Structure 1
Amino acid sequence: MQYDVIIVGGSYAGLAAAMPLARARRKILVVDAGQRRNRFAGHSHGFLTQDGTQAAAIAAKGREQLLAYRTVGWLDGKVAGAQRHENGFRLDMEGMPPLEARRLVLATGVVDRLPPVPGLAERWGTHVFHCPYCHGYELNQGPIGVLATSPMSMHLALLLPDWGPTTLFLNDAFEPDAEQLEKLQARGVRLERSRIERIEGSLDLVLHDGRIANLDGLFTLTTPDVASPIAAMLGCEFDEGPMGRTIRTDAMKATTVQGVFACGDAARPGGSLPLAVGDGTIAGAAAHQSLIFGGY
């Protein structure tokens, strides 16, 4: 069977991309490997009408609503390979028959590479975060920290005092210059130069000199990697930026390969549920219009 569109990735961007196609009564399939980026977080914040809702519940409700449309199919599985042919695209599946579609929407998400501090990964999404807009308010203005990974961490350090008294743990990542030190001082950010040896308890940072810093929340920049090699297999071009590598798209979420669209965290810097939903909606509508008018 050839689908009009296959959406690879069934998290928020993929679900959003599928909705306009479903409402256009197109034959579509969502292929999902079941690895939401925010699966470590209990609740989602900052998404209008869903603030404080369990993250998994939002995804489950989206899937339920999508599958109410009769032209939508869902497949739990992983894409192993992808290639273009004269009538569209072929996806090779792990342990399943191949799939074919006229268009593809890649909503594959990213994998966060965390700083190698013992104990940090175990607290990711519960006490260690990347986005203050998503998690800062719930810390109730308690003591918070920024684990530096590069000079880019200055941005987080200058933002965070609006959510609580902030300490920037340099952790040998960089040394602020005079101008940066002045900005940090103006925002009331405390500097800590002793290296973090490990994290214990709820969020007790054991420093190299033996002191322990007790925090309510710790923020850090991750190195996100596109979670699937499909875009590269198809020949899509990528952009390299200070927040990682992303699939290159235009304003309508079309990639550099005709007929392939990309959305969500794999195709834009940063990470946010509402931004992923908006991104996916654009990609789905654009994929639908490309079936009618061509182009992209």
Structure 2
Amino acid sequence: MHTNQLNDEFDAIIVGGSYAGLSAAMQLARARRRVLVIDAGQRRNRYATHSHGFLTQDGSSASAIAADGKAQLMAYPNVIWQEGTAATAMANGDGFDVALHDGHAFQARRLVLATGVVDDLPPVEGLAERWGSSVFHCPYCHGYELEQGAIGVLATGPMSLHHALMLPDWGSVTLFLNDALEPDEAQLKALAERAVAVERTPVARIEGRADVVLRDGRSIALAGLFVMSRTHNSPLAAELGCALDEGPMGLYVRTDARQASTVAGVFCCGDAARIAGSVALAVADGAMAGVAAHQSLIFGAVPAA
């Protein structure tokens, strides 16, 4: 990598080099635009060994998909990869300035935020250590592999009811309220109709594969445990003035059907711009963001309503 390359202005800067960012960068690279990807190497699904539900890649290594995507992207000579974390981003005339924590600053006419989100898990002993291996958030990504076994849902709020009502298609379900939720009569009826067991005794810890040990000493063996994490978005979107919406798990960037944010010239894709997502959805969002960013360089940038 040459310093003079980094000092030049780019057509687009992609902040985040995971699935959505790689997909966005690919579209811009193939349009022969000069692209800079800034990536800190912290994929959200780095704890998961395999990815599921992504056509042609079902069951593939999650890290291998990302590595293959990066290798394919970097075959384009008009793409520069910069390791690091984007600390600040701001509008500057008709473009944007992005600075890293080490002080390096770059300029581009368009900005694509593919920063992902950070998961904040409930403070239950043994939960974080199993995140991505036997504790999950997405049934479409991990439910099938549980072989219709016993499944738990650890409640964190009202959306945990949605989780519990979905999951009986993948196994027998127990909803652990854990003092985070108390279903009303109608909700209890809906749970009963889906054969979901309700456990009110609080959870003490998680042991074994995903065994839930309750405070009264009972242990319930599970094939897998699902939990709705609280997600935290990158501060860059708010710094730039992009509108954010409150979802059931946290804030996400408001975008239109072309992944444009409410700030002209700023696009957002992947988990940062979704209530919930997956690798397949991230790649699709990224492709749209890349195409839209490219066309905005020709026809002008229009912010989301």
Q: What is the TM-score of this pair, normalised by structure 1?
A: 0.98
In the alignment, is residue 191 of structure 1 matched against residue 187 of structure 2? Answer: no
Within-5 A mapping of 1:223-238:
223-226=230-233, 228-238=234-244
Q: Which amino acid aligns with 1:152?
A: M
Show CA shifts across 1:264-296 (max 9, x none): 000111021100011011100000001000132
Identity %: 64
Q: 2:298 aligns with which of 269, 288, 292?
A: 292
CA-CA distance at 1:96 after TM superposition? 4.6
Give 1:261's match in structure 2, choosing from 264, 267, 272.
267
- 1:132 aligns with 139
Give the aligned partner of residue 180 of structure 1: 187
**Whole-angstrom CA distance in 2 between matches of 1:126 and 1:39:** 11
Q: 1:141 aligns with which of 148, 173, 193?
A: 148
Aligned pair count reads 295
Q: Which of 266, 270, 280 pairs up with 1:274?
A: 280
Equivalent of residue 66 in structure 1, options 65, 70, 73 = 73
Q: CA deviation at 1:86?
A: 1.2
Worse-superposed segment, 26-35 or 77-86: 77-86
- The aligned counterpart of 1:241 is 247
Q: Which residue of 2 aligns with 1:115?
A: 122
Structure 2 counterpart of 1:259, one-letter code:
G
CA distances 1:157-182 after superposition (whole Å, capped 9, x unpaired): 11111111111111111211111111
Aligned to 2:215: 208
Letter matched to residue 3 of structure 1: F
| 1:286 partner SS | helix
Q: Distance in 1 between matches of 2:185 and 2:236?
A: 45
Q: Give the whole-Å Cα distance in 2 for the aligned partners of 1:94 and 1:243.
A: 28
Offset, 1:210: 0.8
Q: Deviations over 1:115-147 (max 9, x none)?
A: 111110010000100011100111111111100
CA contact (8 A) 2:209 2:224 kept: no
Match of 1:38 among 22, 31, 45: 45
Aligned residue among 79, 84, 109 for 2:91: 84
- Structure 2: 5+ residue stretches without partners: 1-7
Distance between the aligned counterparts of 1:14 and 1:97, measured in 2?
20
**Counterpart-to-counterpart distance in 1, 2:104 and 2:198:** 56
Letter in 2 for 1:183: A
Q: TM-score, normalised by structure 2?
A: 0.95
> Partners in 1 of 2:86 and 2:172 — Cα distance?
45
Structure 1 range deviating more: 193-202 or 31-40? 193-202
